[in-house]
Amino acid sequence: MSLIPIRPGSPFGTPPERSDAARNRERLLQAARDLVAEHGVDAVTMDMLACRADVGKGTVFRRFGSRAGLMMTLLSDAEAEFQREFIFGPPPLGPGAPPLERLIAFGEARIKYVEEYGELARAAAEHSPQNRHDAPPVVLWHRHIEMLLREAGLDRDPWLLALSLGATLDPERMLHSLRAHGVAPERLAASWRELVTRLLKDC
Check residue 30 for interaction with its own copies (CB under 8 A).
no
Q: Using alpha carbons, select from 20, 22, 18, 27 the residue that is nearest to residue 7.
A: 22
Check residue 143 for interaction with its own copies (CB under 8 A).
no
Among 7, 45, 176, 185, interactor with its own copies by CB under 8 A: 176
Check residue 168 for interaction with its own copies (CB under 8 A).
yes
Peptide bond into 92 cis (omega under 30): yes
Check residue 150 for interaction with its own copies (CB under 8 A).
no
Cβ-count burial of 99 within 10 angstroms (0-12 exposed, 13-18 middle, 19+ buried)?
buried
Check residue 161 for interaction with its own copies (CB under 8 A).
yes
Contacts 24+ apart (CB under 8 A), 101-104: 102/148, 103/145, 103/148, 103/149, 103/152, 103/196, 103/200, 104/192, 104/193, 104/196, 104/197
Check residue 183 for interaction with its own copies (CB under 8 A).
yes
Among 16, 19, 180, 182, interactor with its own copies by CB under 8 A: 180
Check residue 130 for interaction with its own copies (CB under 8 A).
yes
Distances (CA, A) of 161 to 19, 147, 155: 44, 11, 10
Check residue 187 for interaction with its own copies (CB under 8 A).
yes
Q: Using alpha carbons, select from 59, 55, 56, 78 the residue that is nearest to residue 8.
A: 78
Among 15, 16, 58, 129, interactor with its own copies by CB under 8 A: 129
Are the beta carbons of 83 and 74 closer than 8 angstroms? no
Q: Which is nearer to its own copies, 37 or 190 (CB)?
A: 190
Check residue 113 for interaction with its own copies (CB under 8 A).
no
Q: Given the rule CB under 8 A, which residues bind its own copies? A: 122, 127, 129-130, 132-134, 156-157, 160-161, 163-165, 167-168, 170, 172-173, 175-177, 180, 183, 187-188, 190-192, 194-195, 198-199, 201-202
